[in-house]
Amino acid sequence: MSDLLDVVRGLSKKTDSKIVLVVLDGVGGLPLELNGETELATARTPNLDALAAESQLGLVELVGAGITPGSGPGHLSLFGYDPLKYVVGRGALSAVGIGVKLNAGDVAVRGNFATLGADRIVDDRRAGRPTDEKNVEIVAKLRAAIPSIDGIPVEIYTESEHRFVVVFRAQNGEALGANIGDVDPQVTGVQPMTATAHDPASEKTAALVNAFVGQAEATLKDEPQVNGVLFRGYSDVPHFPSFADVYKLNAACIASYPMYKGLASLVGMDVLPVEGHEDALEGKIQALTENWARYDFFFLHIKKTDSTGEDGNFTEKAHKVELFDELLPAILALKPDVLGLVGDHSTPSKLLSHSWHPVPFLIHGGHGRFDPAQRFTETEALKGTLGLRRGTDVMPLLMANALKLNKYGA
């Protein structure tokens, strides 16, 4: 069966209409108690409510029923790339997002700084979310202590807060495999796992990872909080069909976190500079406004609806939704022909992690039917005319509503 991207490539056409896709990271949630409200439903969102009353709504499963998506597969799905076919590790996304060039045979790894207690038990997988300044300090320590392992150059980069990136550089034409199990157990109260290779080509890389973990813990043993490293998301150089070629769009990414900029860059979007910290949403609106005439598609990423869920902070997650609601009129003032709002996965504060629950999806503008949904919430989205969709349906629906797809067949 043909890839949906091949079909859309043959139907898409260039027009003057503009599309904005806002991804509220991890926006889906759960009530804290039976029959309670989710974070989205708890938030006071007069602008989102008014928008929903004039829009089409539905729910989206990013990968499939019961499957909890990572941020990479979630976003690939929203961009129309089947995440079961187009697979990329978070390491490459983060590396490309911070401007690191990967060569054939290199392996990039996404790392978390962590707090380890007695007997190497993981007390905090994110080391209390250190400041970016502390991250830079720790990375400098590791760079000085671990310039290479067994003749393989090791490059270490700051991403943000607790996140960092390690690149193992291939030497003498010998490619390093990336098919390796995680060090990050993704829970607390247990020891980090040992990296294991899932094929012979990855055995050397697994040994490099385990050596790095040991040397990093020795280097950071006197740090009170940032004293361990956890790894997941190994990847070599990925290749994707061009977003511009598939959709005939001149596309821009407005994001702060490196991995989302990396993903947008890998599919061929221009990554625009954003002023201010991630919390400063005004900088993203400014980038959107200043570049409005240059592009016909904008991917606008909002992160903190996810990280507050990971921290288990129900109230603060609802507040982050309210902060976005306050800036929504500035987006609407630009009069996009089609505006899409969606999440890349759910991150219920009750679970402190990503989950498999479908996320609300809204299309404003275009050519929809009457829709009874009145709020951008999980429950209201169930009433919407868009129904339950796969993540890969999002881009074709946005394109269709913007009248950017020709008829299929005779």
Assign residue 347 the CATH number of its domain. 3.40.720.10
Residue type, 403: L
For residue 35, what are the domain limits? 4-86+241-401
- Please tell me whether residues 117 and 36 are part of one structural domain: no
Global pTM?
0.79
Q: Who wins on pLDDT, 101 or 12?
A: 12
Q: Given 180, 206, 235, which residue is the final one in a domain?
A: 235
Residue 1: the pLDDT is 37
- Burial status of residue 228 (CB atoms within 10 A of its CB: 0-12, 13-18, 19 or more): buried
Q: Is residue 220 part of a domain?
A: yes
Q: Which of 273, 236, 304, 248 is CA-nearest to residue 27?
A: 304
Number of domains present in the structure of the chain: 2
Measured CA distances, 197 to 3, 95, 103, 238, 388 (Å): 31, 22, 21, 19, 38
Q: Where residue 119 sits, what CATH number does that domain have?
A: 3.30.70
Q: What is the pLDDT of residues 196-229, one digit of tens each?
A: 999 999 999 999 999 999 999 999 999 999 999 9
In a domain, 267, yes or no: yes
Query: 221 and 294 share a domain?
Result: no
Question: How high is the pLDDT of residue 100?
Answer: 87
The tokens for 369 are 């039917």
Q: Are residues 269 and 135 in the same domain?
A: no
Judge whether 181 and 195 are in contact, CB under 8 Å. Answer: yes
In this structure, are residues 274 and 284 in contact, taking their beta carbons and an 8 Å threshold?
yes
130 and 254 part of one domain: no
Q: What is the pLDDT of residue 2?
A: 52
Determine, yes or no, domain membership for 410: no
List, in sequence order, every beta strand (DSSP E) within 244-302: 251-254, 270-271, 297-302
Is the domain of 314 the same as that of 340?
yes
pLDDT, tens digit (0-9, with 9 covering 90-100), for 293-328: 999 999 999 999 999 999 999 999 999 999 999 999
Q: What is the mean pLDDT of the chain?
A: 93
Residue 45 sits in the same domain as residue 164? no
Separation CA 226–CA 216 (nearest Å): 10
Same-domain status, 203 and 290: no
The percentage of residues in the chain with a pLDDT greater than 70, rounded to a whole number, is 99
In tens, the pLDDT along 4-26 reads: 899 999 999 999 999 999 999 99
Distances in whole angstroms, Cα of residue 139 to Cα of each of 12, 95, 275: 45, 15, 24
How do residues 271-299 score in pLDDT, each as one tens digit? 999 987 666 788 999 999 999 999 999 99
Q: What percent of the chain has pLDDT over 90?
A: 83
In a domain, 407, yes or no: no
Q: What are phi and psi of 348, to 5 degrees?
A: -65, 130
Strand partners, 218: none
Q: How far apart are CA 409 and CA 69, in angstroms?
A: 34
First to last CA, the chain: 19
Token pair 């029923």: residue: 65
User: Do the domain assignments include residue 159?
Assistant: yes
Distance CA 190, CA 171 (A): 35
Domain's final residue, options 235, 250, 281: 235
Q: Is the pLDDT of residue 35 over 90?
A: no
Summarised one tens digit per residue, pLDDT across range 134-160 is: 999 999 999 999 999 999 999 999 988
Q: How much is the pLDDT for 302?
A: 94
Asked which of 235, 268, 286 is the last residue of a domain, the reply is 235
Residues 98, 72 within the same domain = no
Q: What is the pLDDT of residue 350?
A: 96
SS3 label, residue 401: helix
Strand ranges inside 25-126, DSSP E: 56-61, 107-116, 122-124
Res 101: pLDDT? 84
Q: Does 409 reside within a domain?
A: no
Supply 173's token pair. 């034409």
- Judge whether 379 lies within some domain: yes
Confidence of residue 239 (pLDDT cuts 50, 70, 90): confident
Average pLDDT over residues 89-98: 82
Please report the pLDDT score of residue 278 as a whole number. Answer: 61
- Asked whether residue 180 falls in the same domain as residue 254, the answer is no
pLDDT the model gives residue 361: 98
Q: Is residue 330 very low, low, confident or very high in pLDDT (cuts 50, 70, 90)?
A: very high
Residues 205 and 264 in one domain: no
Examine the domain organization and report whether 127 and 210 are in the same domain. Answer: yes
**The predicted structure's pLDDT at residue 294:** 97
Domain assignment of residue 370, yes or no: yes
* Contact assessment for residue 244 and residue 208, using Cβ atoms and an 8 Å cutoff: no
Same domain, 166 and 111: yes
